[in-house]
Amino acid sequence: MKIKTKEDYIESLKKQHVVIYYNGEEVKDRTTFPAFVPHINSAAKTYELALMPEHEDLLTATSNITGKKISRFTHIHQSVDDLIKKVQMLRLIAHETASCFQRCVGFDALNALYMTTYEIDEKYGTKYFSRFSEYLKKIQDENFMLVGGMTDPKGDRSKRPSQQADPDLFTHVVEKRKDGVVIRGAKAHQTGAVNSHEIMIMPTQAMVEGDEAYAIVAAIPLDAKGITLIFGRQTNEERKLECGIDAGNCEFGVVGGEALVVLEDVFVPWERVFMCGEIDFTGLLVERFATLHRQNYGGCKGGVSDIIIGASALAAQYQGTLNASHIKDKLVEMMHLAETVYSGSVACSAMGSKTKSGAYYPDPLLANCTKHNITRNIYEISRLAHDIGGGIMATLPFDKDLRSPKIGKYVEKYMKGIEGVSTENRMKVLRLLENMTGGTALIESMHGAGSPQSQRVMYQRLGKLSEKMKMAKKIAKIKE
């Protein structure tokens, strides 16, 4: 099925029979289940915007494989301009959803694999790149939504995959057959899994001798036999079931609807396998994927921050404090922080370079710097939003209290701000702020695309400290 519209996307999800559990119960229809609908709406916005002439340049691209017009979310970057347009696109969609729209992980997996399979074939004479190119044609033609399955549960993090007491804590090959492989394990924190079509299994870290079974890359439909999805609990997720003011962002939710994807002896034919045992390329693949994914965060989180800033200003206006000098100063600081993370994404894109495959790749040091700034700046933006919004964000009465025929008049009277603004509108913007600046949303900003320590490790690897020391010696005229 070729997906163009929101309706096409929802219909394609209906046609797949994916095994999904929410709060201990199996979900029969993911397209109508209240906890999933906001995430579906957010992903659907990527299809809707691509059909708008004013957004065509950012949301679509020309395939380097077929020459056809495709979704940019299935495109292989062919220039620095492509890298920059990616970031601009992410900020645009964030302005429309104020949430995670979930297609970035699969997008980045496609690009990382395009580069890496080319180089595996170059060294070993394998056929991964041609296999992957054929798979990519299908994804581009159908416009499928793909989960990038990199993160494993990991178990005892002091031990390597092959040293674990339970080998399934890292996803691995348990059997090689003439027609394919059998995979067992799980992928954790999978953004958008419950409303995607396929998952791309990738190694979660660099592998060494003995870990060959864990060096596996494979594309698997999410309705394949042996796959079970377990939806992750989120902060205030019950409010999505109500879909009133208390939900904050009722239409699009909070973040990406993450799930645990369990793979219980899943068969994958060889034409869908793009790495199998090449341990020396696992580190490169992980680094490339991480760089491409960290490149994104100034775009999507910069866009989400714009909504937080606007909501903070509205909250201040509705309570009569917008013109106070300290409020203006805090809003300016929030704008500075948002533009700082956005400029990081643009910078690492502008400094991108061409790989052997022909695909373009962001500057890895600057991409890691971008994501590291996110882990700090988003928390500070949220802190300032809490400061401006006030304690009422934490103690606001229920939406049903406002609607109550008995006590609604009290909520209407005592929760009101300035004249000319309804209590309902004030409550709406305060709930939006609460929704966007607490719990799950903040944790995702910290750990999505890798925790802060993983970026600091990359600084040590890419920061060229010895070269900096040589430059200092030269300036100081030190001779040894």
pLDDT tens track for 262-273:
999 999 999 999
Domains of the chain listed by start with CATH number: 6-279 (2.40.110.10), 284-463 (1.20.140.10)
- The list of the chain residues with pLDDT below 50 reads none
Q: Parallel, antiparallel, or unpaired: how do β-strands 20-22 and 25-27 relate?
A: antiparallel
SS3 assignment, position 409: helix
Tokens of 292: 């491409």
CA atoms within 13 A on the CB side of 192: 28
Nearest to 444 by CA among 264, 300, 248: 300
CB 80 within 8 A of CB 360: yes
Spatial separation of the C-alpha atoms in residues 255 and 191, rounded to whole Å: 8
| DSSP for 312-374, written as a single string | HHHHHHHTT-TTSHHHHHHHHHHHHHHHHHHHHHHHHHHT-EE-TTS-EE--HHHHHHHHHHH
pTM comes to 0.95
Greatest C-alpha distance within the chain: 85
DSSP string, 236-296: TTHHHHH-SGGGSSTTT-SS---EEEEEEEEEEEGGGEEEES-GGGHHHHHHHHHHHHHHH
> pLDDT per residue over 54-104, tens digit each?
999 999 999 999 999 999 999 999 999 999 999 999 999 999 999 999 999
**pLDDT value of position 451:** 87
Q: Please report how many Cα atoms fall inside a 13 Å half-sphere around the Cα of residue 336, on the Cβ side.
A: 8
Question: Which of the residues are catalytic?
Answer: 100, 104, 191, 258, 293, 297, 300, 444
Token pair of 440 as six digits: 């799950």
Residue 236: the pLDDT is 77
State residue 255's pLDDT score.
79
**Per-residue exposure over 308-338, b if at least 16 CB sit within 10 Å of its own CB, e if not:** bbebbbbbbbbbebbeeeebeebbeebeebb
**How many Cα neighbours within 13 Å face the side chain of 223?**
12
In contact, 120 and 128? CB cutoff 8 Å: yes
Q: What is the pLDDT of residue 1?
A: 67
- Rounded to whole angstroms, how far apart are CA atoms 291 and 450? 10
